[in-house]
Amino acid sequence: MRKYLLATCLSAVALCAASFAYADDDPLLTMQKDAKQWVTPRADYAATGYSTLNQINASNVGKIAPAWTFSTGVLRGHEGAPLVVGDVMYLVAPFPNTVYALDLNNDGKILWKYEPKQDPNVIPVMCCDTVNRGVSYGDGMIFMHQADTTLVALDAKTGKVDWSVKDGDASKGQTGTDAPFVFKDKVLIGVSGGEFGVRGWVSAYNAKDGKLVWRAYSEGPDSDLKVDPQKTTSLGKPIGADSSLKTWKGDQWKIGGGATWGWYAYDPKLNLVYYGSGNPSTWNPSQRPGDNKWSMTIWARNLDTGEAKWVYQMTPHDEWDYDGVNEMILTDQKIDGKDRQLLTHFDRNGFGYTLDRASGELLVAQKFDPKVNWATGINMDKNSADYGRPIRVKAMSTEAQDVNVKGVCPAALGSKDEQPAAYDPQTELFYVPTNHVCMDYEPFKVSYTAGQPYVGATLSMYPPKGDSNMGNFIAWDNKTGKIVWSDPEQFSAWGGALATAGGVVFYGTLEGYLKAVDAKTGKLLYKFKTPSGIIGNVMTYEHGGRQYVAVMSGVGGWAGIGLAAGLTKPNDGLGAVGGYAALSNYTALGGTLTVFALPQD
């Protein structure tokens, strides 16, 4: 790794992306402690989405107003969030994934931009809009995962390509939508394409030169999974030999899904990386009998070797597309009177899970939306053969081909999709943007062809019976598995949350509102309508002694795919177009960064 001295970058002329010396093992960890910056996609390795800045607080947040804006020039879904390193902000737009470096000392002047040249044929194989969830920083470089799976390392000062590597093959449905994650000296990326029969994997590259260090798959032989049959555990027991192969029919695992396009977290003390794998392929469950391990799974892997320490499959033999890729938030808390190293995960399947992140022990599993009906609960009896498995409701099964199962809650986009939650150590609560949506689901037989959709189900989506709201923003107690407060939203709350030491929690809505609520009560303290619907994640930073809050708006993603791609048939967009048809009455396409601050004296 190149060596840098820690420096404060004050020049408005020369770009100086906070460089540093390797005085300890991990300078990026030191940088995360500086709340003036936002150097990783979710604020820190633990993915908390929390900032200790408090200049903006519950007593004055109602006075904030836009300080400056920036247009990306792209009219598709804007997920993710900017980074702030020193005096420079970095952000990436949807396809074709232009990266911008903006000078905070000069009203967001463009210092440089990187414009990759990508084959537009990648667009049709991007499942749910042409999104990108952000860039990452490390060792003086900005890392970006392009739609065509190219991982590129850009010099943070100049935007010049330092190195690039192709991770997959878009012609086979393999695409890149996730943010890269820099942990110590490695860059980790996953792959999208579960709806194209892609067998999911995670790749770890050397941040210095782009050399592949390890790659681990979600399904297949033990060697591909990087598991040890006797040492890798699930709920405290060794997984045994061929744990994945035994749960698939024939060679179905080779096109088995388990994509890895979500968020990643890292515990430096345990040296473990945490992430989730997605839905099995196809969406027609009758074509893939068995538990389909290890799709729908929480993974804990050694950062240096990739070897899995433990796994936990949340939805064995998934029948509803309940992807398991949502963020893993790491906290140290007391639970049942004991100090615990915890991992909290809000799954698409509607259950909030709390596990011991060192051992993988399941501690809490409860519904975070009361309308969830595909299962009554999770079996918590450690003496049961079904320990840790969902207690399914037979009437909600989609196992019968060509049968339309009605009223399944949640819908395939889950009680929560990739929009990340935030954790506040002051309240010890998690703030979760949720979907409040159900569906009708009809599976049909489908054949696999590389690079072609491999779905095999027709869906329609709508709010739960008796409700008009399609979303809620909730506060969650991960120790008890209970909702503390809940704010209803007309549409799904699809923007990622930010919690701050000022007692304020921020999030965005599909209509385009940035909202600020009281962390203790959920009381609305402020809202502002941005130019387009928000599916991005709110972040904060300090510059020149002034705290700023920033969010990218640009409606799209799965919920907004009708607007983003011009789709009109109700069943298009895997069922989302009809469910969110009314969204067009409230917002339109656009790609804008809006930065807020308190008025200057």
Active-site residue list? 321
CA distance 261 to 278: 8
- Tokens 């003390």 belong to which residue? 269
Quick one: CA dihedral 316, 579, 537, 49, positive or negative? negative
Helix (H) or strand (E) holding 89: strand 88-92
Torsion angle of C-alpha atoms 237, 242, 244, 249, degrees rounded to 10: -140
Amino acid at 88: V
DSSP letters, 326-367, are S-EEEEEEEETTEEEEEEEEE-TTSEEEEEETTT--EEEEEE
Q: 139: which residues sit within 8 A by CB, 6+ positions away?
A: 1, 2, 4, 182, 185, 207, 208
In angstroms, what CA-CA distances link 248 with 191, 291, 294, 423?
A: 21, 7, 10, 37
**CA neighbor of 265 nearest in space, from 325, 334, 307, 201:** 325
CA distance 414 to 403: 21
In angstroms, what CA-CA distances link 158 with 20, 101, 112, 176?
A: 17, 9, 7, 24
CA distance 297 to 223: 18
- Beta-sheet strand order (sheet of 362-367): 328-335, 338-346, 351-356, 362-367
- Tokens 């009455």 belong to which residue? 585
CB 485 within 8 A of CB 521: yes
CA distance 232 to 187: 23
SS3 sequence, 34-46? CCCCECCCCCCCC
- The structure tokens listed for 96 are 């074709």
Torsion angle of C-alpha atoms 137, 141, 145, 147, degrees rounded to 10: 130
CB 132 within 8 A of CB 145: yes
Query: 317: helix, coil or strand?
Result: coil
- The structure tokens listed for 296 are 């729908």
**CA neighbor of 507 nearest in space, from 520, 492, 521:** 492
Q: State the Cα angle at 216 between 211 and 219, rounded to 5°.
A: 150
CA distance 116 to 126: 17
Q: Tell me the residue ranges of DSSP E strands in 490-579.
A: 498-500, 504-508, 513-518, 524-529, 539-543, 546-553
CB 423 within 8 A of CB 496: no
